Chains A and B, each alone.
Chain A
Amino acid sequence: MSSDADALERHIGHDEFDPVGTLALIGIYFLILLLMWLFMYFVEFLGNDLTVVGMI
């Protein structure tokens, strides 16, 4: 496998590294999560009959 240190263009140390791309991706993940919760609430939860927990 080729991708060890040979293909590197520059070296970035701990302090110069600012993981904004990671932030962006994780932001998208949480956005999807939020939308899916909304979707679930309206379609799956309100759209189905009540689920009984405990005593009737």
Chain B
Amino acid sequence: MSAYIDQFPEEAKVIRSAFYASFFALALGAAFGLIQTLHRTDFVRIIPAEMYYTVLTAHGVLMVVTFTIFFLVAIFTWAVTTSLDRGVEDIRFTWSWYGLMTLGTAFAAIAILAGFTDRTEISADVLFTFYAPLQAHPMFYVGLVLFVIGTWLAGADWFRSWWAWKQENPDKRIPLPTFMVLTTMIMWYLATLGVATSIIAFLLPWSLGLIDTVNPTLTRTLFWFWGHPVVYFWLMPAYMMWYIMLPKFSGGRLFSDPLARVVFVLFLLLSTPVGIHHQYLDPGIAEGFKFIAMTNTMFLLLPSLLTAFTVVASMEHGARQRGGEGYFGWLGALPWRDPVFTGMALAGLMFAAGGFSGMINAGMNINYLVHNSLWVPGHFHLTVGTAVALTFMAVSYYFIPQVTGRRLASKQIALVQVVMWFVGMTFMSNAMHRGGLLGMPRRTAEPEYAGFQFETAIGTVGELNAQIALGGVLLTLSTLLFIVNMSITALNDRDDDLPSNTIPEPLSGPNEAPLVLDNLKLWTAIAVVLVIFAYSLPLASIVERGGLFGPGGDAFPMFLELADSFGFALVGETLSAMVSSLLETLRTVV
């Protein structure tokens, strides 16, 4: 019974480093968030409008790729080592995937941030979706590839631990936290095939000048093949925290281990064959395929609703053990003064609200009302921007002392911080949703137009903008409090009576879960089949209509000359000759 750092001092170092990388990205991302919030709403405009896209790309990539994924590899490493009660097999391997992820981030970030200066031609103003014909400097794509390979190796590290553990414990059930990590990673391997293909086969060669054009519908579709499951890559670690940490902090036990396993299996199966629901308005994809994606999406609501039930029931169990009574009275018995608990509970509450707008987004016909409007950022600041981000910040108040051995600088400030995030997001997100319903566009630096006024049913555009700006300021302040609190904690003196690093047993344990749930091979196979069903026809028809490399058109901006000057040209010609002869062969075979 001791703190994590005493149990696994070497692993604690890697985990710490991953947390710090993630916090660094969060801090930068929040600074950009503030700039764009104040710019859009016309309160403070410190950048020229063209630079808005550099800021927005940096905000998107740093938040949803760097911050979230570095954080989750940290807690996944914690979860596997803690629940298997064994260190990683080879700590050098662990450092090497961490190093690769860091290198990849540095590449991508340098390419994006270079967009701020005219001293170099390098830029990557392509937003986090990098849709063609927007083109980034090759360094951006290379960075993404390295980063993703880093995550693949991280997954291999955890699988390796599990295999080694299984040799020694042949008859035991996979411990729940490890089960969650493994199912999430299988989903991730499947999902990243899409984005890896898009980048390695098309976008990177295209930005290097090896191929002239790409088929934008194809690269978009491959992007969303990954782009939807990536939201579960953010959410499943948050769910893991709700399943195993929330009961711990509310003084109860997880209601049901089998139900938790069912939820993670459902996510593995259903996360990927739904990506086309982000393309309801894309021309070039038949309505029928969109309808299939919508149906799968509606099924995907199920595991989230199951989660709502299990997690709330586990909190209720805690509250009743603490003496709570009645239908609603038990809510008062929860430990609201504890920032870890309160942050997670508020994050869950916001996720419930995000569920409402998510159901709107998911409907093919209603989606038309909100597509590409400010409603959409309103929605995902509730989900990834709060359900995930606030959960991560909240559990950091537990994890950072655990992996550094230092005393948390201030629990009071931590409590203020999580509540401030909740309040700030209530303002910002609510006003964004309403703005979207009026037709205010997203991804727009200056959404005011000569001779045109958005019509409001209640309130005014000025009031909406004020709420967005106020919310953005509160969120930035909250981030600042978080970063300062964490920094002081990391430098604080040792805490000799840290709570021990344990995960309470569930009320209904793993032995009541059907054995088949642990059959990862079976679930992987079904997941693959579902993906083939959902994607083979749409992809085939996209390629048939537009060709693998598209109907033509120019990239924006062009990096061709740049790539030439690096001496890529020769390699380029050889490679593209190889690719086209390969395609010829394929064509004759098919």
Instruction: Give residues in A with beta carbon < 8 Å to B.
Output: 1-5, 7-14, 17, 19-22, 24-26, 29, 32-33, 36, 40, 43-45, 48, 51, 53-54
Contact A51 B365 (CB under 8 A): yes
Number of A-B contacts (CB under 8 A): 86
Within 8 Å by CB of A19, from B255, B322, B369, lies B255
What would 9 more interface pairs be, CB under 8 Å, given A1-B397, A29-B352? Answer: A1-B499, A3-B250, A3-B338, A4-B248, A10-B321, A12-B321, A21-B319, A40-B366, A53-B365
Residue on A nearest B250 in the bound complex, by CB: A3
Residue on B nearest A5 in the bound complex, by CB: B251
Residues on B with C-beta less than 8 A from A5 are 251
Interface SS of B by simple majority: helix
By CB atoms of chain A within 10 A, which of B248, B324, B327 has the most? Answer: B327
Residues on B with C-beta less than 8 A from A29 are 308, 352
Query: How far is A54 from B290 in the complex, measured between Cα atoms in Å?
Result: 12
Q: 1/0 per position for B323-338, CB-CB distance to A under 8 A?
A: 1101110110001001
Contact A12 B365 (CB under 8 A): no
Which of B71-79, B150-158, B309-317 lies at the interface? B309-317
Q: List 30 A-B contacts (CB under 8 A).
A: A1-B249, A1-B398, A1-B499, A3-B250, A3-B335, A3-B338, A7-B322, A12-B317, A13-B507, A14-B507, A17-B320, A21-B312, A21-B324, A21-B330, A21-B331, A24-B328, A26-B309, A29-B308, A33-B356, A33-B359, A36-B356, A40-B360, A44-B369, A45-B366, A48-B369, A51-B368, A53-B287, A53-B364, A53-B365, A54-B287
Residue on B nearest A10 in the bound complex, by CB: B321
CB distance from B474 to the nearest CB of A (A): 25
The yes or no answer to B225 lying at the interface (CB within 8 A) is: no
Residues on A with C-beta less than 8 A from B356 are 32-33, 36
The yes or no answer to B244 lying at the interface (CB within 8 A) is: no
CB distance from A3 to the nearest CB of B (A): 4
Query: How far is A41 from B316 in the complex, measured between Cα atoms in Å?
Result: 35
Residue on B nearest A17 in the bound complex, by CB: B317
Contact A1 B338 (CB under 8 A): yes
Within 8 Å by CB of A3, from B251, B326, B359, B366, lies B251
CB distance from A22 to the nearest CB of B (A): 4
Within 8 Å by CB of A7, from B308, B335, B352, B457, lies B335
Residues on B with C-beta less than 8 A from A51 are 365, 368-369
Known contacts: A19-B316, A26-B312. The answer to whether A9 contacts B369 by CB under 8 A is no
The yes or no answer to B340 lying at the interface (CB within 8 A) is: yes
Residues on B with C-beta less than 8 A from A32 are 356
What 9 A-B pairs have minimum CB-CB distances, sorted nearest first?
A9-B323, A19-B313, A3-B335, A22-B313, A22-B312, A24-B327, A14-B507, A21-B316, A51-B368
Contact B251 A20 (CB under 8 A): no
Contact A1 B321 (CB under 8 A): no
Contact B251 A4 (CB under 8 A): yes
Residues on A with C-beta less than 8 A from B364 are 53
Residues on A with C-beta less than 8 A from B319 are 21
CB distance from B433 to the nearest CB of A (A): 12
Would you list which residues of chain B between 404 and 435 have a CB under 8 Å from chain A?
none
CB distance from B444 to the nearest CB of A (A): 21
Known contacts: A1-B398, A2-B338, A3-B250. The answer to whether A22 contacts B309 by CB under 8 A is yes
Residues on B with C-beta less than 8 A from A33 are 356, 359
Query: How far is A18 from B360 in the complex, measured between Cα atoms in Å?
Result: 33
Query: How far is A54 from B291 in the complex, measured between Cα atoms in Å?
Result: 13
Query: How far is A22 from B499 in the complex, measured between Cα atoms in Å?
Result: 29
Query: How far is A53 from B352 in the complex, measured between Cα atoms in Å?
Result: 30
Residues on A with C-beta less than 8 A from B330 are 21
Query: How far is A21 from B315 in the complex, measured between Cα atoms in Å?
Result: 10
Residue on A nearest B326 in the bound complex, by CB: A21
Residues on A with C-beta less than 8 A from B248 are 4
Q: 1/0 per position for B357-396, CB-CB distance to A under 8 A?
A: 0011000111011000000000000000000000000000
Contact A9 B328 (CB under 8 A): no
CB distance from B221 to the nearest CB of A (A): 20
Query: How far is A3 from B341 in the complex, measured between Cα atoms in Å?
Result: 9
Query: How far is A20 from B317 in the complex, measured between Cα atoms in Å?
Result: 10
Query: How far is A38 from B328 in the complex, measured between Cα atoms in Å?
Result: 27
Residue on B nearest A43 in the bound complex, by CB: B457
The yes or no answer to B2 lying at the interface (CB within 8 A) is: no
Known contacts: A25-B312, A51-B365. The answer to whether A19 contacts B321 by CB under 8 A is no
Q: 1/0 per position for B269-297, CB-CB distance to A under 8 A?
A: 00000000000000000010000000000
Query: How far is A4 from B318 in the complex, measured between Cα atoms in Å?
Result: 10
